[in-house]
Structure 1
Amino acid sequence: FDHQLPAALKKLPFDRHLSLKNVQKVVTEADGYQPHLIAPEQGYRRLIDGSITYFKGPAEASVDAVHFVLKELVRKSIAETEELKRFPSLQNDIATAANEALERFREESRKTVVRLVEMESSYLTVDFFRKLHAAPEKKPEKNGNPPGPNNDHFHDTSLARIGSNVSAYIAMVSDTLKNTIPKAVVYCQVREAKRSLLTHFYAQVGRK
């Protein structure tokens, strides 16, 4: 968590997603050709949604990485338990039950971290938009005909500002997920492995 997750988050292609060309494309499609340039709300939301989606990959990778570590720990523990070496069938049953439990923990963990990412997308921090609306607005020139779709309606400065604002918001989300994803993974996988790795197995044995 200290190295792999932060490194994976840094490698996400936000520069490409928030390039001037893509910002113009997304904002234009979302808000039309004459949106409120300072805060085209639907454009912002689409850019943020598209950016946040990238977090799912590193989140799920964290789940898989912990799952692999737990499987290795189980394998080594079983292999190093001398008493079990005399009962290969029991050894195999325990290994199977433990791995099945780890799979369940992984699935629950995967659902949880994906929910964390989706929560960031479904509920945007209100203060973010308040600050945008409070920012000084440059009034458009009144002379000339209304710009058409192919005219240079979106000035580079406006596009750069939109991209910069979204980038700042995504950085805030990244810092949040950098803390919440490890907590969710530890809670759903490590904690459950300690508490109930073989609970289901013991219950089955008890019924026989």
Structure 2
Amino acid sequence: MIAARHKEREYFATSPEYSHLSSKMGSEYLAKLLSKHLESVIRVKIPSITSLINKAIEELESEMDHLGRPIGVDAGAQLYTILELCRAFEKIFKEHLDGGRPGGDRIYGVFDNQLPTALKKLPFDRHLSLQNVRKVVSEADGYQPHLIAPEQGYRRLIEGALNYFRGPAEASVDAVHLVLKELVRKSIGETQELNRFPTLQSDLAASCYQSLERFREDGKKTAIRLVDMEASYLTVEFFRNLPQEVEKGSNTAVPTVDRYTEGHFRRIASNVSSYIGMVSETLRLSVPKAAVHCQVREAKRSLLSLFYSQVGRKEAKQLALLLDEDPALMERRVQCAKRLELYKSARDEIDAVSWAR
């Protein structure tokens, strides 16, 4: 090829017919013309080419963000990756509880609807029926109205009624527990970074559920303790004021009450019912506080404490198992990285040529 072009140049330079046009003849001259034309066309197209390359780079970077960055091979990098993923999950979970995302409001539904409804459905009418009141009072060990504290009949009726509050208190704690479990499951699904690691998702969920079980046990103990506190100490002032309430509006002395008449038992049932209503209102406000303090508050503060302690004891191989990925996903990431590198290199070269000119 070099020899042919050399002969071509020699021919046009020595030929009488073309010697005066030798500088504008031959394949070399034609190549220069075509090169200049191509260069002008490319120069016009450079902005659109650059725009196309930048768009491809943005798409590849977006896909790389979706696929996730490559994971380090050493244990420190793997542990750091796991902790970062846990922080992303915890952020979403707290947003559900604090109102940034939907779902946490269901906890208020437990306290505003479920608990009051359960309290209203308690069978106090049967417990305070005339027949049961007569039976309990008659079987009580003595009847001593001179005592400041409620007599034995009152105490037995009240303690028996207060036992009914255990069910709604435990049910409220269980309902909050179910809401928190659902929020954990939902938050894991909404944490895009976790989608790459099914094993980590499974272990994280299991650890969170284990922590929530512990919070539920604490919540139940506290709620039942509140009920037992009401049964252990009866509000004396309430019963001290009952005679004044009975005599209110009467200017005459109240005759001696026959303790075995139907009206007497009805008045006992009414007094106990009023006291139970007061306790019910107290528990309606205090049981939610116990659930929030022992469950919701602890879930926000230390939901992942158990998981962190478990991860901290794992070896490098165990950490790698938590961060296992789909091989197809890993191959896709490698291909995207290669294409991204090529596009960035092309963009840099075009920019260098553009600035040079």
Shorter-chain-normalised TM-score: which range? 0.7 to 0.9
Q: For 1:8-48, what per-residue CA distance to the aligned partner results, in whole angstroms no more than 9, with x for missing partners?
A: 1000000110011000100111135xx35798710000000
Equivalent position SS for 2:140:
helix
Structure 1 residue 132: Cα displacement: 3.9
Equivalent position SS for 1:3:
helix
2:161 is aligned to 51
Equivalent position SS for 2:241:
helix
For residues 1-208 of structure 1, the aligned pairs below 5 Å read 1-32=111-142, 35-36=143-144, 41-132=151-242, 138-139=255-256, 154-208=260-314
Structure exhibiting the larger radius of gyration computed from Cα positions: 2
> Relative to 1, partners in 2 of residues 1:74 and 1:87: Cα closer, same or farther, differing over 3 Å?
same
CA separation in 2, counterparts of 1:36 and 1:96? 57
Q: For 1:127-183, what per-residue CA distance to the aligned partner results, in whole angstroms no more than 9, with x for missing partners?
A: 023224666553268xxxxxxxxxxx6211100000000000000000100100001
Letter paired with 1:157: G
Q: Is the 1:59–1:114 Cα contact (8 Å) retained in structure 2?
A: yes
User: Could you state the TM-score of these two structures normalised by the residue count of structure 1?
Assistant: 0.88
| Percent identity of equivalent pairs | 66
Equivalent position SS for 2:112:
coil
**4+ runs of 1 displaced by more than 6 Å?**
37-40
RMSD: 1.9
> Relative to 1, partners in 2 of residues 1:17 and 1:114: Cα closer, same or farther, differing over 3 Å?
same
Structure 1 residue 81: Cα displacement: 1.5
The unaligned stretches of length 5 or more in structure 2 are 1-110, 248-253, 315-357
Q: Is the 1:75–1:95 Cα contact (8 Å) retained in structure 2?
A: yes
Q: Is the 1:26–1:43 Cα contact (8 Å) retained in structure 2?
A: yes
Letter paired with 1:126: V
CA separation in 1, counterparts of 2:271 and 2:257? 21
Equivalent position SS for 2:227:
helix
CA separation in 2, counterparts of 1:178 and 1:21? 29
Letter paired with 1:192: E
Letter paired with 1:74: V
Q: Is the 1:38–1:132 Cα contact (8 Å) retained in structure 2?
A: no
